[in-house]
Chain A
Amino acid sequence: MSTAVVTVNKGVFRGFNLRQKTLLIIGFTSLLLLAIVISSVEFGDESLHTNFGSKNLNPSPEHPFGTDWMGRDMFIRTLKGLGSSIMIGAFASTISTILAIILGLLSSTGKIADSFIAWLVDLFLSIPHLLLIILISIGFGGGATGVIIGVALTHWTGLTRVVRAEIKQLKTQEYIHISRNLGKSKWWIATKHIFPHLIPQIFLGTILMFPHAILHEASATFLGFGLSPHEPAIGIILSESMKYLSAGYWWLAFFPGLSLLIVVLAFDMIGENLGKLIDPKNAHE
């Protein structure tokens, strides 16, 4: 929201245009991500049949992302990999958000709870994130379950801090003191005064968690601590294609890697634009 935009779009339509543009970006990127998830489910496993007659083909109109050493279409493999990445990201972000809300609320109940949760956040942040995911993953028996739990249990720290700080700030507000003086209970104040202020932050926090969760799952899988080779996953595709890079089969890594990057950036873009929309300063204006 630079001043340039403000001076160019003057008058009544100023806010409207900016808002419309933001909504358009959000709508378009959401549609793209939804299309990826739906089409990844629609393509059955038979579309990934091995066909040794068409091994290691260059990208072409028939196979836009080329084919691999088993003759599988890389476009469909990538699509299915992205689909599972997004679904794992969604699940992990939801769990992490729930954890963040519970811990954030808990930290506002008392000094001891607060220092405990601050300590817990610091503890989780002091261990390298990927290492933590791998450790948890191994602890839960590895594989898909392991990595999903690992990713889900490690992304709550940032949002917990936000929720905790926001509650702290809200509790000093005069209208909260007034509510207490009007005889309202702690629970009533938490649900009627505090929680509504947190919803936009929580919503935004969840969406901004997505790209991290997706990248961490892909990294863990790439390193061999995540999804197993027969499951569709970008991490698997990338680690396999490493073996073939020296043979000059560049498309095996290039398109899947690029697609992952686009998906991650798309989530970031949605988050950023949503942030503009639900900025508390612009509420009710």
Chain B
Amino acid sequence: MCLKCENISFGYKKNNLILNNVNLSLGSGEVLGLIGDSGSGKSTLCKILAGYENNYQGNVSIDGKAIPSKGYNPVQLVFQHPEKAVNPKWKMKDILNEGHIVPQDILDSFGIKKSWFNRWPNELSGGELQRFALARALSPETKFLIADEITTMVDAITQAQIWNIVLDIVKELNIGVLVVSHEKKLISKLCHDVVYLDDINTV
């Protein structure tokens, strides 16, 4: 499988393009790094890939077919701020299982404890919340994971830990990952290949 975006142009305001003619492709099982300056439009591109933003020009497709807007989206996005990715009025166990019942082995590998299940989101740390967000996104139906600076809120050791778990799971499920980060070290450690947004964006 191959996730492709072709000739993507987009701006939040009409005459202020942030992305201009961007092309990118990501294969199953591939781990691709995306680097760019702050404000260059990395998060914006991620939102377009995952179908959060629809008013763009160009195509996003999987194996040449448009991604249906209804039903489970095979392209899942995980963000930098996990506290915004959870409904503050939901208990953690409901948040975790919103998409699919997360199997026990995935909970174990992420180190998600049963005792957290009955807590509210504001009773967990950012790193703990992010594990829930990742476990929720990594269902067997997921084909591509867009990881937009998912570990910027944790220390270097936890960062390595989380990424090891994620890489194990995506390998097993044959998921393609787009790793967005401004840490070149992290990207070079994790990724098979790197693209620079400034190179593929003609703005």
Q: Chain A interface (Cβ within 8 Å of chain B)?
A: 173-175, 177-185, 193, 196-197, 283-285
Contact = CB atoms under 8 A, between A and B. Distances in A.
B122 A284 contact: yes
B73 interface: yes
A174 B79 contact: yes
Given A182-B98, A183-B73, A175 B85 contact: yes
Nearest to B51: A181
Contact of A178 (B75, B85, B122): B85
B89 A196 contact: yes
Interface string B149-177: 00000000000000000000000000000
23 contacts: A173-B84, A174-B79, A174-B81, A174-B84, A174-B85, A175-B86, A175-B87, A177-B52, A177-B77, A178-B85, A178-B98, A181-B50, A181-B51, A181-B52, A181-B72, A181-B75, A181-B77, A182-B73, A183-B71, A196-B89, A197-B89, A284-B120, A284-B123
A182 B99 contact: yes
Nearest to A285: B122
Indicate the size class of the contact surface on chain B: 20 to 34
B111 interface: no
B130 interface: no
A174 B50 CA distance: 12
A174 B98 CA distance: 14
Contacts of A177: 52, 77
A220 B105 CA distance: 68
Contacts of A174: 79, 81, 84-85
Nearest to A185: B70
A181 B120 contact: no
B9 interface: no
B140 interface: no
A183 B89 contact: no
Q: Which 4 A-B pairs have the closest CB atoms?
A: A182-B99, A183-B72, A181-B73, A284-B120
Contacts of B52: 177, 181
Interface in B86-138: 86-89, 98-99, 120, 122-123, 136
Contacts of B136: 178, 182
Nearest to A193: B87
A283 B77 CA distance: 28
B76 A283 contact: no
A193 B87 CA distance: 7
Contact of B88 (A180, A182, A284): A284
A177 B98 CA distance: 13
Given A181-B76, A284-B120, A175 B84 contact: yes
